[in-house]
Amino acid sequence: MTIAHPHAGDRCVDPDDVGTNPTDNPRFDEIAASRLNRRRLLGWGVGTAGSALLAACGGGGGGGSGAFLPAAPATAAPAPSGNVDTSPAATPPAAPRLGFDAVAKSLADVVAVPAGYTASVLYRLGDPIAAEVPAYRNDGSDEAATYDRRAGDHHDGMTFFGIDASDRWDPAHATRGLLVMNHESMTQLFLHPAGRTVSGTGNAAMRTVADEVQREFYLHGVSVIEVERRDGSWRYRQDSRFNRRIHAVTEMVLSGPAAGTGDMRTRYSPDGTRTRGTVNNCANGATPWGTYLTCEENWAGYFRRIGAIDDPQRSPRELASFQRYGVRGVGGSSRLWATPRPDTADHLYGRWNAEIAGATATDDYRNVANTYGWVVEIDPFDPSGTPKKRTALGRFGHEGACLGPVVPGKPLVWYMGDDAQNEYVYKFVSARAWDPADVGAGMVAGDKYMDEGRLYAARFNEDGSGDWLELGLGINGITAASKAYAFADAADVLINARLAADAAGATKMDRPEWTAVHPKNGEIYLTLTNSTARSAGGANITNAANPRAYTEGGPSLSSGNPNGHIVRFADAGGEPDAVRFAWDVYLFGARSNAGPNVNLSELDADNDFSSPDGLWFSQASPGLLWLQTDDSKYTDVTNCMMLAALPGRVGDGGAKRIANASYVLTDNDEVVGHVAEQKTFVGKPPGADGLRRFLVGPVECEITGVAESGDGRALFVNIQHPGEDTSSLRDPAAFTSHWPDGGNARPRSATVVITRDDGGVIGL
């Protein structure tokens, strides 16, 4: 029997909604939540986010600061991240002001931008990037072998590399550049003639049409495309020599301390120095020498490893690692890439099977999952170059890698979120000090700065201070005698960085997404998108940096921290290798009509939002922050959005006590309320001049990925998976979105370019 599974394994459960951190926070998972009787819960009084309970515990006011604050930055103006500034004493420009009227919340199937702006579609799923490739038919019939020269699906993080007339990197270039972007995942329903074709169920499920799997390999990864403004409008050049797709089959070099170790050996690479492909490339990053970083986020679910078959053959260390990273892809819940038969001569399908199948590690792919979960460096100026997975930056569910202040003579630093419930935020500090002579040196510079350094995980203290805990063998409890995991050597600490951060005592966060570094003061912003992990009553459900626990309605009843928040922190002295920092919560996501213990940033109808994810500071307009949402909690009112912000700095608000209202479910399914105070540090409310909605996307999309031309007069934004909840191809008129092509077309992820009708700078 053949059955079609519309986008099964891709959307129904967002993998980063499911945590794999077993350490001792109480959890109240979604299975228990489904037992809740909504009426009874509302009757009990927490349906409006606990505002009614505020009086019961004495109010949520507070005052005073008391937070540890760092000394002033060592240099007056750290260089913008992603750019190169060798004159740190440059005079800061005048304070920017937002210069557009807010866009209203919307459920329409359009990209809405402010009056006086135009959003144009630039690069859609399937668009050809080589001269010989025909236009995309978008009906599932396009030839699979052409997809390695077409736009991938689920556009995500993105960087614009300006190029001059000599084809060299020129960050300030305004009208021509390489746009490099991630393609995180796919909506399988719209990729094939009738959804994906599968036979069998559970662990016996198999993909029976190899062409479909080949398409999916190619639709993941990264695009490099040349874009230019000509005759007043932006387009990509279909025949550029720079155009390139990197995907799930592309050869990659493993680099840094974990490369060439026993845990990286596979049949494909017996010496453990190579692998093939990159997947689930979420956010991105850049280097000061002009290369692109792509980050592997929810990679674990791509591998087949059936516990009943494989677990008995594995060591306790291997089992602990699989458990901590969630490598347990079975049956219909995975993409089933390991299943087409027969396999190819170079085992393109079998390499997704992470089970022990041969005599030794070089006879099978038992270690293949260790070759994923990294930050990958790509030189977009070298179309035939081999990407490198930089193992010194640690292995986890990498969301992005944001470059910190770039100062000659000082180390380089990248800040990185690990997006799953209760995971951590990390930083990598290079061993070598930055030398501006390395600009343009490509992967050689990567070898110099990214293969040797120190990895840290963050602990946020209750008093507003923080500590960077170094993850190194023999320190911070990371030893062969560690309780949960016996670390073998320095490479093992990197391959199992989550376990190392557990041992060191890092702070569990509400799903760390993007990081962004303020180009004027070097402070770091971190989106924490949302979490259900703080919904249970009792002790220790919140901490000062993840302080809210409440319940609200919406598309469904949600408990924990449904709307997310944005933490920011300042490394002590502005030094990249500081081991202390000060933090506060810059912004809390909330509905504008939520109670005062939820809408702590006093959002109004023009700037309220939920589930922050994408986050990026403009380089052309220093101080202007773009904030994007990936939301499932406010979608009864509005589609996902992008906002412009002008944040202040750490400590511009003050200490506050939040009255949280959470609940426990007894064995008898009785809901018992729990009210607890949590102290935190809240930034100054942004107000209408500090945060304003700039864009609302089409139905069921995520807004993610943002980049600008060198002059800030063109803004590139990605619209990911419009119409993703469509359940059937039977009636095209019933697709939940037809964006961007309209009519009865299948929806497509796409890049839009936004310009101002008067040619001015975007946002100001």
Under the rule (CB under 5 A), what is the footprint of Ca ion? 282, 513, 613, 630, 702, 720
To the nearest whole angstrom, how small is the minimum distance from the Cβ of residue 184 to ligand FEO? Answer: 5
CA distance 505 to 343: 44
Site for ligand FEO, residues 311 to 340, rule: CB under 6 A: none
To the nearest whole angstrom, how small is the minimum distance from the Cβ of residue 467 to ligand FEO? Answer: 25
Burial class of residue 121 in the structure, from the number of CB atoms within 10 Å of its CB (0-12 exposed, 13-18 middle, 19+ buried): middle
* HSE (side-chain half, CA atoms, 13 Å) at 694: 30
* The binder of ligand FEO chosen from 419, 575, 584, 708 (CB under 6 A): 419
Residue 109's binding partner among Ca ion, ligand FEO, none (Cβ under 5 to 8 angstroms by kind) is none
CB 133 within 8 A of CB 149: yes
To the nearest whole angstrom, how small is the minimum distance from the Cβ of residue 128 to Ca ion? Answer: 24
| β-pair type (251-255, 388-390) | parallel
From residue 355, how far is each of 264, 270, 309, 367 by CA, in Å?
Answer: 14, 17, 8, 8
From residue 205, how far is each of 3, 5, 327, 333, 334 by CA, in Å?
Answer: 10, 11, 18, 10, 10
To the nearest whole angstrom, how small is the minimum distance from the Cβ of residue 294 to Ca ion? Answer: 13
Pick the closer one to ligand FEO by CB: 379 or 613. Answer: 613
Q: What is the CB neighbour count within 10 angstroms for residue 228?
A: 14
Q: Is 724 in the site for ligand FEO (CB under 6 A)?
A: no
Site for ligand FEO, residues 163 to 192, rule: CB under 6 A: 184
Cis peptide leading into residue 342 (ω within 30°): yes
Pick the closer one to Ca ion by CB: 157 or 712. Answer: 157
Pick the closer one to ligand FEO by CB: 20 or 367. Answer: 20
To the nearest whole angstrom, how small is the minimum distance from the Cβ of residue 615 to Ca ion? Answer: 9
Q: Is 600 helix (H, G, I), strand (E, B) or coil?
A: coil
Pick the closer one to ligand FEO by CB: 117 or 299. Answer: 299
To the nearest whole angstrom, how small is the minimum distance from the Cβ of residue 157 to ligand FEO? Answer: 9
CA distance 259 to 370: 10
Cis peptide leading into residue 647 (ω within 30°): no
To the nearest whole angstrom, how small is the minimum distance from the Cβ of residue 14 to Ca ion? Answer: 8
CB 688 within 8 A of CB 660: no
Record the tokens describing residue 742, joined without a space.
């309209």
Burial track 48-76 (b if 16+ CB lie within 10 A, e otherwise): bbbbebbeebeebeeeeeebbebeebebe
Residue nearest to Ca ion (CB): 630
What mask, x for binding ligand FEO by CB under 6 A, covers residues 502 to 521?
Answer: -----------x--------
Record the tokens describing residue 253, joined without a space.
């070099």
* The binder of ligand FEO chosen from 10, 297, 492, 510 (CB under 6 A): 297
Pick the closer one to ligand FEO by CB: 282 or 675. Answer: 282
Residue 142's binding partner among ligand FEO, Ca ion, none (Cβ under 5 to 8 angstroms by kind) is none
Rg (CA), the chain: 24
Pick the closer one to ligand FEO by CB: 169 or 415. Answer: 415
Q: Is 451 in the site for ligand FEO (CB under 6 A)?
A: no
What mask, x for binding ligand FEO by CB under 6 A, covers residues 634 to 653?
Answer: --------------------
To the nearest whole angstrom, how small is the minimum distance from the Cβ of residue 535 to Ca ion? Answer: 19
Pick the closer one to ligand FEO by CB: 563 or 660. Answer: 563
Tell me the backbone φ, ψ of residue 452, rounded to 5 degrees.
-145, 130
Residue 702's binding partner among ligand FEO, Ca ion, none (Cβ under 5 to 8 angstroms by kind) is Ca ion
Pick the closer one to Ca ion by CB: 502 or 513. Answer: 513
To the nearest whole angstrom, how small is the minimum distance from the Cβ of residue 721 to Ca ion? Answer: 6
CA distance 505 to 475: 12
Record the tokens describing residue 690, joined without a space.
């500090």
- Which parts of 489-553 fold into alpha helices (H)? 490-495, 497-504
Residue 467's binding partner among Ca ion, ligand FEO, none (Cβ under 5 to 8 angstroms by kind) is none
From residue 512, how far is each of 457, 458, 472, 516 by CA, in Å?
Answer: 12, 12, 22, 12
Count of positions (residues) in the chain: 764
Residue 297's binding partner among Ca ion, ligand FEO, none (Cβ under 5 to 8 angstroms by kind) is ligand FEO
CB 225 within 8 A of CB 718: no
Burial track 439-455 (b if 16+ CB lie within 10 A, e otherwise): eebbbebbbbbbbebbb
Q: Is 399 in the site for ligand FEO (CB under 6 A)?
A: yes
What mask, x for binding ligand FEO by CB under 6 A, covers residues 600 to 619?
Answer: -------------x------
Residue 371's binding partner among Ca ion, ligand FEO, none (Cβ under 5 to 8 angstroms by kind) is none
Sign for the pseudo-dihedral over CA of 59, 64, 66, 72: positive
* HSE (side-chain half, CA atoms, 13 Å) at 112: 19
CA distance 110 to 118: 12
Distance separating the N- and C-terminal Cα atoms of the chain: 58
What mask, x for binding ligand FEO by CB under 6 A, covers residues 270 to 289?
Answer: ------------x-------
Three-state SS for 667-717 is: CCCCEEEEEEEEEEEECCCCHHHHEEEEEECCCCCEEEEEEECCCCCEEEE
To the nearest whole angstrom, how small is the minimum distance from the Cβ of residue 637 to ligand FEO? Answer: 22
Pick the closer one to ligand FEO by CB: 183 or 674. Answer: 183
Pick the closer one to Ca ion by CB: 177 or 614. Answer: 614
Pick the closer one to Ca ion by CB: 657 or 748. Answer: 748
Pick the closer one to ligand FEO by CB: 355 or 419. Answer: 419
Pick the closer one to ligand FEO by CB: 399 or 552. Answer: 399
Helix, strand, coil shares of the chain as percentages rounded to 5?
A: 15, 30, 55
Strand partners, 304: 329, 353
Which residue reads 């594995």 in tokens? Answer: 314
Residue 724's binding partner among Ca ion, ligand FEO, none (Cβ under 5 to 8 angstroms by kind) is none
CA distance 535 to 531: 9
Q: Is 642 helix (H, G, I), strand (E, B) or coil?
A: strand
Pick the closer one to ligand FEO by CB: 425 or 493. Answer: 425
What mask, x for binding ligand FEO by CB under 6 A, covers residues 6 to 25?
Answer: ----------x---------
Pick the closer one to ligand FEO by CB: 259 or 282. Answer: 282
To the nearest whole angstrom, how small is the minimum distance from the Cβ of residue 457 to ligand FEO? Answer: 18
DSSP label at residue 178: E
Pick the closer one to Ca ion by CB: 282 or 354. Answer: 282
To the nearest whole angstrom, how small is the minimum distance from the Cβ of residue 374 to ligand FEO? Answer: 15
Instruction: Tell me the site size for ligand FEO, rule CB under 6 A.
Output: 8
To the nearest whole angstrom, how small is the minimum distance from the Cβ of residue 16 to ligand FEO? Answer: 5
To the nearest whole angstrom, how small is the minimum distance from the Cβ of residue 367 to Ca ion? Answer: 28
What mask, x for binding ligand FEO by CB under 6 A, covers residues 659 to 688?
Answer: ------------------------------
Pick the closer one to ligand FEO by CB: 611 or 678. Answer: 611
Give all strands of the β-sheet with 375-378 in edge-to-edge order: 274-276, 251-255, 388-390, 375-378, 292-296, 281-286
From residue 470, how far is each of 38, 238, 493, 516, 577 by CA, in Å?
Answer: 45, 46, 11, 21, 11
DSSP label at residue 491: H
To the nearest whole angstrom, how small is the minimum distance from the Cβ of residue 517 to ligand FEO? Answer: 18
Residue 598's binding partner among Ca ion, ligand FEO, none (Cβ under 5 to 8 angstroms by kind) is none
To the nearest whole angstrom, how small is the minimum distance from the Cβ of residue 125 to ligand FEO? Answer: 17
To the nearest whole angstrom, how small is the minimum distance from the Cβ of residue 399 to ligand FEO? Answer: 5
Record the tokens describing residue 648, joined without a space.
């202040």
Binding site for ligand FEO (CB under 6 A): 16, 184, 282, 297, 399, 419, 513, 613
